[in-house]
Each structure stands twice: as structure tokens, then as C-alpha cells.
Amino acid sequence: MKLTPNWKTTLTSAWSVRLLILAAVISVLPVFVSLVSPDLLGLDPLVFAGIAALVNLIAIPARILVQPTSGLWSAFRRDESGAVRKRTIGVLAGGSVALASAISFIGQWEGLRTEAYRDVIGVWTVCYGETKGVRPGDSYSKAECDAMLAREIIAYEAALDRCLTADVPIGMKVALVSWTYNIGPAAACRSTLLRKANAGDLTGACNELPRWNRAGGRVIRGLTNRRMSERAMCLKALKA
């Protein structure tokens, strides 16, 4: 009698094996509990036997059906650097949660102004730093500004993703989207920051953020504070 060539894969990946193990655990559970204290059992041992039998029956089709393997799960188990784990967590925590985090973070730095105004370098701006198509006299409600910011964040993230090839944790992504929203995708994609990130130097990329604190050729205190906050979020995400 010989082991099958893929016995290791079968033991670790086959659902039939997992179900058989579960059935065995269910079968011995009432015996173990009764040894500790019969009063803890609470159910007739026949109930456990029935559940174990059902699990065994389910294991039969699980054994003969094709079971596709998950490349992401395999990579997750093999990963030693933590990159796959961070990417997986980012995907699971993404969507509305990530968008809400980005809206909150970017909104606090952009500030909300529902009437059109000139920014520090004279560009007409409204809501949360929106400049596209803004004219003097434009006015929006807060709800309209919130919706506008959400749309812009999604658009800026998509633009950033076209040149950001590295997998980054979600906190770093929020920081980089905030930065991109502020300086524009073209400048972001040409930056040393993106080159470092794509080369795998994520810490170096985070440390590039404070350099982007100028507008109109001069250092702006508000931009300095914003870049430091983005850098802090960026580095914190790498330590998570």
C-alpha cells in the first residue's frame, strides 16, 4: 500500500478530509464532555452521532467533486514578508469602509466651503478643494459637496492605480490618494515617491510625502501639516 503522490496537498486542501476530521471531532465530543461532567453534555449522544453521520455523508461528494485551489490562499500561507496578508486585509476592509476613511481624512484637510472662493494661489475652488469647472458665484449644499468628494476620491484612486503597481496596505493607500487629490495624478505619477513605492521601498515612499509642501513656489504651513499627517498614516499602515 502506497501513499498517493499528492497526499500532502490532499491532507491540507481537500474538503473531504476536513469534513472527516470534523465528523471525528463531533463523534468524540460527547465522550470527552461526559468524562469531565455528564451534566455539561445537555444533548442525547445520539444527536452527536447523527450530526457526525451527516457530515460523513457530505464528505462523499466533497471527495469526488473537483475542488479548485485558491491561489490567494496558497500565497497567504506561503507569504513571509506580510505583503499578501496586507493586501488581503485591504481587500476585505475595502469598499465603503475604505472610502469612508478617505472621505474623512481628505475632508478634514480640504475643509468644506459651499461657496466658490480663490485658494492660496488664486484658483477658484469650492466644497472640499474641488477646482474643475468652478466659477465665481458657484454654490453647493453639504450633501452635494460630500457626493462630489466621494466621486472625486474614486476617480483619483483609479488614476493613481494606473501608475502605482505596488501592493500597499489600505492606510497607505488612503494617504496616497489624499496626496494625489491635492497635487494631481500627473504630478503623482511622475514623482520619486511613486518610483520608490513601485520599487518596493514603501517606507521611502512614505518619507517622500513631506517634500510636497509647496504651492506657487513657496512653503505653505497647511500643506506641511497635511503632508506630515499623510506621512504618519502611511508609516503607521506599514507597521500594522
Q: Counting Cβ atoms within 10 Å, is residue 35 exposed (0-12), middle (13-18) or buried (19+)?
A: exposed
Q: Provide the strand spans (E) within 129-237.
A: 214-215, 218-219
Which of the residues are catalytic?
Answer: 110, 119
Number of other residues whose CB lies within 10 A of the CB of residue 71: 8
pLDDT in tens, 28-63: 555 555 554 555 555 555 665 566 666 556 656 655
The three three-digit cell numbers of residue 52, written as one number = 457526525
From CA 158, how far away is CA 146, in angstroms rounded?
19
pLDDT in tens, 143-201: 899 889 988 888 888 889 899 999 999 899 999 999 999 999 999 999 999 999 999 99
Provide the whole-model pTM.
0.58
Statement: 96-109+145-238 belongs to CATH 1.10.530.40:
yes
